[in-house]
Structure formats: C-alpha cells, structure tokens
Amino acid sequence: MARMKFLCDAERCIECNGCVTACKNENEVPWGVNRRRVVTINDGIVGAEKSISVACMHCSDAPCMAVCPVDCFYRTDEGVVLHDKDLCIGCGYCFYACPFGAPQFPQAGAFGLRGKMDKCTFCAGGPEKDLSQEEFSKYGSNRLAQGKLPACAEMCSTKALLGGDGDVIADIYRQRVLKRGKGSEVWGWGTAYGKPDQKAAPAGAKS
C-alpha cells in the first residue's frame, strides 16, 4: 500500500470552495474551524490568478508529530497522520510546526478558550471504534472505513483536488499534464522560489 496523499491542480482549481463546504458538511466541523481552505494568489489579475486547496498534507515525516509534547499523533498504515484528542492538551505547538497551518483550534467561551486541536483526518476518523458516534463527534466521518476517499476530493467539480494513493493520483496528474501540455511547472523548487534567469512577477502582482 502506498501512502495516501492530496494533490491540487492549480490549473484547474476555480476557487469555488466546494471542497471546504464538503469537508465542513461531511465532518460537521464547528464554526471557526476550517480543516480545508482555498488559497488564491494574484487575485483578480488576469492570467496570473491561481488557487490551490490546502489542508493537512499528511507528511511522511510530520513536524507536528515530532514536536507534540504529549505524543498524541500517530500515522496509520496508509500514511494518514491522525491524533488522539484524549491526549491532546491544545498547546498549539503543532500549529507553529506545521508549514501549512493545518492544525485548527476551536474557540469557545467568553475568553476564547482554546480547545483541543482539530485537523483534516483524510476522512479516516480517529482512535475510537470505527464508524461509532464517539469517533464521529470527535473526528468526523470515517470514509476510509467505508471504502471511500475524502469527501473534498471526491466531490471536486473540476477534479482539481485529487486524493488517494499517492502513486495513483500522481499517474492521473501526469496523464493530465501530458494531455494539456502544461501544468507540471506549478510544482517544484523553481516555482516556489524562482529561477535565476526568471523574470520578475507581473506588475501589480500581489499575494
């Protein structure tokens, strides 16, 4: 079994926020918590606007796991990074460590009390009994236990967001790039940090 991964195709994402809505609906995520969100750069600039859907990337060597003082994280056989809310103390250390800002903290009460961490589970629930009410109330839906893939990816209207076995979605993406002849440049070092011979960003570009 390869590892479960998400891949978002910036050439296809239309910033509809359908994935965000699907996630909130499927997992009944409380107000103030967004397990998934759509990030747009160069908003409104024709030809330069790109959107990407971001959530927990289920890192192979997850920094949140490394820094957690109470060791509440674990990784499943499918490569999904999950956590135990009974162990979590809501310290927020994982939030500092995560490069994607995936960990979320529900706020309740007059003084904004920080609750236990909540994040994307790849629709794989948590340590409680699979498909139980306890699991759903703490972690949301467990679609992997039903032979399904995450709701966000499965309902994406343009199939910009792919989720599942890393090898399979990489093949789908590769075929897509070959058919349309572009798109692979949205990934990699050169795109993230620029190339030495690359021209400056378009005038008026903003993030």
Torsion angle defined by CA atoms of residues 147, 151, 157 and 162, in that order, rounded to the nearest 10 degrees: -70
Rounded (5°) CA angle 163-168-171? 110
* Cα–Cα distance measured from residue 45 to residue 42, given in angstroms and rounded to the nearest whole number: 6
Q: Is 75 in the site for other proteins (CB under 8 A)?
A: yes
26 token code pair? 């499927």
State the first-to-last Cα distance of the chain, in angstroms, to the nearest integer.
38
C-beta of 41 vs 97, nearer to other proteins? 97
Provide the mask over 139-158, with x wherever binding to other proteins is found by CB under 8 A and - wherever it is not: ---xxxxxxxx---xx----
* Cα–Cα distance measured from residue 82 to residue 18, given in angstroms and rounded to the nearest whole number: 23
Q: How many CA atoms lie within 13 A of 88 on its CB side?
A: 28
How far apart are CB 163 and other proteins at their closest, in Å?
A: 8
Counted residue by residue, the chain has a size of 207
Stretch of residues binding other proteins (CB under 8 A), selected from 35-43, 46-54, 99-107, 137-145: 137-145
Place of tokens 């609906």: 25
Exactly one of 37, 114, 116, 176 binds other proteins (CB under 8 A); that residue is 176
Number of residues located near other proteins, criterion CB under 8 A: 40
Q: Is 164 in the site for other proteins (CB under 8 A)?
A: yes
Exactly one of 15, 50, 57, 74 binds other proteins (CB under 8 A); that residue is 74
Q: Is 26 in the site for other proteins (CB under 8 A)?
A: no
Residues that bind other proteins (CB under 8 A): 1, 61, 65-66, 71, 73-78, 82, 84, 124, 126-127, 129-131, 142-149, 153-154, 159, 162-165, 168-169, 172, 175-176, 179
